[in-house]
Structure 1
């Protein structure tokens, strides 16, 4: 036996960039997060070649889950072609050799910043959401030690009071993105800064959703077929953004979440936020062969 036989050949980096110890820890924390839906799990967030706050949490989860056969899709607020989405997609492909795609239906792993695709995800797909601030109680309790004790006691009275005050002052709940939601009837979580439109997509979804905050070093999850219920009062129903009647100026599609595009004359036009779904709608309109999956919404109404 020689020393050379006990060592591995030198490599410039581990597969998938992260070292084996980091991946083991992340896998353990992901399993714990799945077992206790909505509960934040601390982890030792590693350095990756991008600034904290730009998706390092989601990137570490993706690097842990990826393998050479994983088909990867990365979107940034619905767009596949933004600088952030293209950079992360290129990095994942370079360090793993995994194929990439823009099509939601072809992807095995979808990393997203602040949006959930319009097409319904399958059981064999994983959605990784980037989270800037994982603590839903921060607005009502800035002391994180006390906030964690409140989570342990399921003490969410201050959050209900905050929503009540919004109704009293404005006549409706003013909370937009990051709408606080009860997961599995126990933990309140912030579902990343996704719009209210996307929160119902997490309720009893077939796919696994993992939410990770690299800067805050917290990870939590929504397992498949798990209840995710926005905090609402019985007499004030939950309302999504009123985009059901908006029409996409490029594709003519209607009934989906739209981006508003200001025009020089002061007016606005609208485009589908999910860029690849908008491309499919354009191809379908032009008579090209394309496969559009079932969508969460139809004509602005939740279909599932």
Structure 2
């Protein structure tokens, strides 16, 4: 930790203001709470909202994991980990189970989270009604009046055009039976993980200056019509070419050697942990 910087980079006044905003967001699940987004040493749009939340809640005893689209080793994830570590000295990990704070872009880990963990999601566009209404003061009024016909119309138009809802990511959800919320650009596969999650989920949009939350054990329902129910991405009949997993979100790749289509776990640390466990079992069986 650099002696010339504040613990966790932000000054104490800024962290207190952000924590107060987080408390309000937790008290009103799914509600977009405005906050005074600070200038950060990374560009807006690269996770400044999530980073400010992480820096405001992190403590010396915490263990941090950072994911970027399922990977722990991407440029964005490595840069964020470096900044937090250099200004706090806290322990870093790639293991979901060992972490207490997880900051993520575009994914929720495959391993179920626990009540002792906090998931921080980076959000580029927090307003689920922005595609149908450009004016902020109008979307605020629509939320206040619980008027979400625009979100339903958007899904209806997709069904008319494509025969199904076409939201590959950021499919809107209804939180605690009240607010329609953008879950961040996670794939549809991850939406059900928010429902009744044991972990606290915090979502931050630095550029849009909004923080919102899904408290533990909160109902989260993906918007869908009765005759066109919500469906996650299907990988039926496929398995990870590395660890053999079948019940996870996978990336579709082309094998450079054969030219054939193969699948691999999108969550790289989950895949690595499965591989290590498989090797451990193999070694034990060899020595048995």
Q: Give a deviation string over 1:14-49, Cα, whole Å, max 9, x none.
A: 111001111011011000000000000111111111
2:243 match = 251
Aligned residue among 131, 137, 157 for 2:123: 131
Number of residue-to-residue matches in the alignment: 279
Shift in Å, 1:282: 1.1
1:302 match = none
- In structure 2, C-alpha distance between the alignment counterparts of 1:166 and 1:127, rounded to whole Å: 31
Q: TM-score, normalised by structure 1?
A: 0.89
2:42 match = 50
Aligned residue among 231, 237, 240 for 2:223: 231
2:165 match = 173
- In structure 1, C-alpha distance between the alignment counterparts of 2:74 and 2:101, rounded to whole Å: 18
Shift in Å, 1:266: 5.0
1:261 match = 253
SS at match of 1:137: coil
2:136 match = 144
Shift in Å, 1:277: 0.5
Structure 1 gap ranges (5+): 1-10, 290-304
SS at match of 1:75: strand
Map 1:57-68 → 2, pairs under 5 A: 57-68=49-60
Aligned residue among 207, 212, 229 for 1:215: 207
1:301 match = none
Shift in Å, 1:257: 0.5
Q: TM-score, normalised by structure 2?
A: 0.94
Alignment RMSD: 1.3
Is 2:273 the partner of 1:273?
A: no
Shift in Å, 1:288: 5.0
- In structure 2, C-alpha distance between the alignment counterparts of 1:157 and 1:98, rounded to whole Å: 46
Contact conserved, 1:245 with 1:255, CA < 8 A, in 2?
no
- In structure 2, C-alpha distance between the alignment counterparts of 1:151 and 1:261, rounded to whole Å: 41
Q: Give a deviation string over 1:113-164, Cα, whole Å, max 9, x none.
A: 0100000111010000000000100001111111111011110011111111
